[in-house]
Amino acid sequence: MAVAQGIVVLLHLVGFAALLGGALVQLRDRAPEINASMLGGAWIALLTGAGLFAFAVTGPEPVQYPQVIVKAVVALFVLLLVAKNRRFADIPRGLLLLIVALTVASAGLPIFWQ
């Protein structure tokens, strides 16, 4: 069980890395866009987050439901922003910065909310 949970944690981190890396690469462009790395990373982060929640519920430690709900809402909102704006040739730089900020906030939430 610990190996499976470790694999899901690794995939969760890879999803965040793909989302954040894809967004940071777009900050250099004049006309930023939502790339495939961002979309795939957002999906991976959300789905593996659901898997980690399943591990947490079945584990011995108590689950912090407010933290899980806030993290899920932020991850779902990022996925919604990325998926809906994928069809446009370019997106506003403010939207890209919002995606970056929400991704960093979502990654930092379990670290700083103890």
Q: Rounded to 5 degrees, what are φ and ψ at 55?
A: -65, -40
Residue pLDDT, tens place only, 21-30? 999 999 999 9
pLDDT band at 39 (very low <50, low <70, confident <90, very high): very high
pLDDT value, residue 114: 78
Q: Rounded to 5 degrees, what are φ and ψ at 52?
A: -65, -35
Residue pLDDT, tens place only, 91-106? 999 999 999 999 999 9
DSSP category for residue 62: P
Tell me how many domains the chain contains.
Answer: 1
pTM of the model: 0.92
pLDDT value, residue 21: 97
Average pLDDT over residues 35-51: 97
**Domain region containing 85:** 2-112
* Two structure tokens written together for 2: 């610990």
Mean model confidence pLDDT for the chain: 95
Report whether pLDDT(82) > 90: yes
% of the chain surpassing 90 pLDDT: 95
Residue 72 CA to residue 83 CA, distance in Å, equals 16
CA distances from 38 to 58, 63, 81, 90 (A): 30, 29, 10, 14
* Two structure tokens written together for 40: 């795939």
pLDDT value, residue 81: 97
